[in-house]
Amino acid sequence: MCGLVTENEIYLNRINEVKLNTLKHYVEKSGVGFGTSGARGLVTALTEEICVAYTSAFLKIVAKLFDFERVAIGVDLRPSSIDIAGSCAKAIQNMGYQVDFCGDVSTPTLALYAQQKSMPAIMVTGSHIPFDRNGLKFYRPDGEITKADELAMLAAEIEPLNDIDYLGLPSVNPDAVLAYEQRYLEFFPKDVLQGLNLGLYEHSSVARDSLKRILERLGAQVTSLGRTDIFVPIDTEAVSAEDVVRGQNWSRQYGFDSIISTDGDGDRPLMSDEFGNWLRGDIVGLLTARYLGAKNLAVPVSCNTAIELSGAFDQVVRTRIGSPYVIAAMQKLENETNDIAGFEANGGFLLGSKLIMNHRAISALPTRDCVLPILAVLAASRQSENKISYLVRDIPQRYTASDRIQEFSTETSRLFIGKWAKNPALFMAEVLDDYGLPVNQDETDGLRFTFANGLVIHLRPSGNAPELRCYCESSTAQEVESVTQIVLLKIKELQ
């Protein structure tokens, strides 16, 4: 799982020259750039030219380290995804490789398949961002690309399209879905969810059908909810007010033990307790890691401090936000220990090493996954009278909330964060004047203030969209929700 380069300066020097035939040139011309995980941009900017450029750069750097003949492609259910996949397929064929089209699949489904078949893969998805945007995620035969790989791609010279007889996307290969479902059906006992009454909020998640089959085959009774053919951008870190009410109403109506959902590409889980209250993603991650017996964790700086306070783990490494940083931290842990996992505040769970539980093994999958945390938390609830709320009450009570200001440019976010980092007193005067000066300041990723009463406020620009995100943590649920909204409202007024 090592990166492509060890001396990033070589690539930085090369891409700074901005040659007309490098990927960096196409990125600057289109505005489609790398975010926290993969490339993202407006659908109108994801032209055939930019898709061919990204695909060409990716395959060039992968071909330096791996031998392969096929490249897997998967898509989410966004209306633009199939056309983007077609452009990627044209570039793949142009470079002499075959296309293995896996169709509508979740991102972890495609990642697992590529890993098992030792081939690269491209997932066409914008994850949770609005449907007028989309993106590309890239997987080497040994896992998700790293930040070093991104630098190498930006410096790569693009292969021009030849006059080829473009074959189009081939028929869908179902093997990826079958392998992904089998992964969990073999690891968990066949009746592990017996007796659970679950709601599945399907919306436009590409994982909805596969997830339902897995839940039912493991014994759960599943009721489908909210299925739509119109794309819905569900953000597991900023659940809408409508979905908060919807979850509670569904729980009262059906008496569910939990309501299950995912984001658009199925790499982030969304789960409720038996009352229809949505769990924070990092709490889902904590419960999952504890149930699986993972002892060494890599998590972003934005995750709940209940992780350390729980005392359940031997080692917790904090990283910048984004799966590549979590993966890099897991790679370092891999050299020292086993039982490695990672997760993010959005709930995506990454398995950094093989785990064995009840004499059953599950292989590493170092990319965000929604199914493993969903099944682990549900299985753990069976040991607590089917009550997920009991599991939550059994961990240190630190409450978190997050939200964002949409259509807030990255430049503006950095301007505000930069001035407040230099002058915390100015932040207090302009935004939050009732708490005194912060007692700790962390600039690992954005700006994170900790106050004397334990309140945490963390601001950072989104890596995937023009948004300013605010994460708060406190000892009371009321304070954390209130402060989050106050901070964002004040910042809006300052624009």
Catalytic residues: 127
Residue 139 host element (H or E):
strand 133-140
Cα separation of 217 and 173, whole Å? 22
| Beta pairing class for 360-362 and 121-124 | unpaired
Please say whether the dihedral angle defined by the alpha carbons of residues 137, 169, 112 and 224, taken in this order, is positive or negative: positive
Sign of the dihedral through C-alpha 484, 486, 491, 495 = positive
Residue 477, both tokens:
């649920």
CA distance 233 to 127: 8
Q: Please provide the DSSP assignment of 437-493 as one string.
A: S-SEEE-SSSEEEE-TTS-EEEEEE-SSSSEEEEEEEESSHHHHHHHHHHHHHHHHH
Distance CA 10, CA 174 (A): 41
Residues 427, 193: Cα–Cα separation, whole Å: 49
What span, in angstroms and rounded, lies between the C-alpha atoms of 422 and 403? 24
- 483: Cβ contacts below 8 Å, ≥ 6 apart: 401, 432, 455, 457, 472, 474
Residue type at position 200: L
Helix axes 8-16, 147-155, angle to 10 degrees: 40
Q: DSSP labels for 160-209?
A: PPPS-------PPPTHHHHHHHHHHHHHS-TTTTTT-EEEEE-TT-TTHH
Span between the terminal Cα atoms of the chain, in Å: 43
The one-character DSSP state at 295 is -
